[in-house]
Chains A and B, each alone.
Chain A
């Protein structure tokens, strides 16, 4: 990808389990965002974390950011079948010119 990599590339879990996805990036940023994309659809914004933040929560989502390691993680707790989608991190500077990671395809089995 233009900016970095996500791992795993694909993740298959049972409903109720937690899902963790990791994102690494290359350049300096001041914000990082996570998006989900259902197959063939547009992007849905999930959560924004700024470079001066280390952790952020939103409902069942927990995002961490380690700027020294240039990495972020997205944790989805108590996953549901409806969480099945591709998840992308996007990094930017001053909300300008976002670069996307390679994405993680999550499959939550009912």
Chain B
């Protein structure tokens, strides 16, 4: 299957700083990517749909000014957590749509101190 990578795989930052997470589709072009968040012992929650060349579509309850999404190319989407707080600590997973399935990245664990 297709490969989706995320960078970094884990990050620790101080409260108030911003953190950027990259999601790349390595062997195919993805016009649409998705960002999920998973709190400990919980399920994945869809945060937003990232569309190449246009604005992201956010799920209800997700602050678009806090979670900035940029999908500047067909192989790269970035999620920036701005002014991070400890409650933003979570596992962030991206996925990219292929023709017949979605391919998930390995996830990025964010810890905000």
We find that the number of chain A residues with CB closer than 8 angstroms to chain B is 23
Give the interface segment out of B21-29, B78-86, B91-99.
Answer: B91-99
A42 touches B46 (CB 8 A): no
A92 touches B102 (CB 8 A): yes
Among B99, B102, B109, the one with the most A-chain Cβ atoms within 10 Å of its Cβ is B102
Chain A residues lying within 8 Å of B97, measured Cβ to Cβ, are 95-96
Closest residue of chain B to A9 (Cβ to Cβ) is B41
A45 touches B43 (CB 8 A): no
Interface residues of A in 13-71 (CB under 8 A from B): 33, 35, 40-43, 45, 48
Among A2, A35, A48, the one with the most B-chain Cβ atoms within 10 Å of its Cβ is A2
Return the CB mask of A60-100 against B: 1 if under 8 Å, else 0: 00000000000000000000000000001010100111111
A88 touches B43 (CB 8 A): yes
Chain B residues lying within 8 Å of A42, measured Cβ to Cβ, are 93, 104-107
| A95-B100 in contact given A40-B91, A40-B109 (Cβ < 8 Å) | yes
Interface residues of B in 9-46 (CB under 8 A from A): 32, 34, 36, 41-46
Task: Pick from A40, A41, A92, A100: contact of B44, CB below 8 A.
Answer: A100
Chain B residues lying within 8 Å of A35, measured Cβ to Cβ, are 104
| A98-B102 in contact given A2-B59, A40-B91, A43-B93 (Cβ < 8 Å) | yes
Chain B residues lying within 8 Å of A101, measured Cβ to Cβ, are 43
CA distance A108 to B93 in the complex (A): 26
B residues at A contact (CB < 8 Å): 1, 32, 34, 36, 41-46, 49, 59, 91, 93, 95, 97-102, 104-107, 109
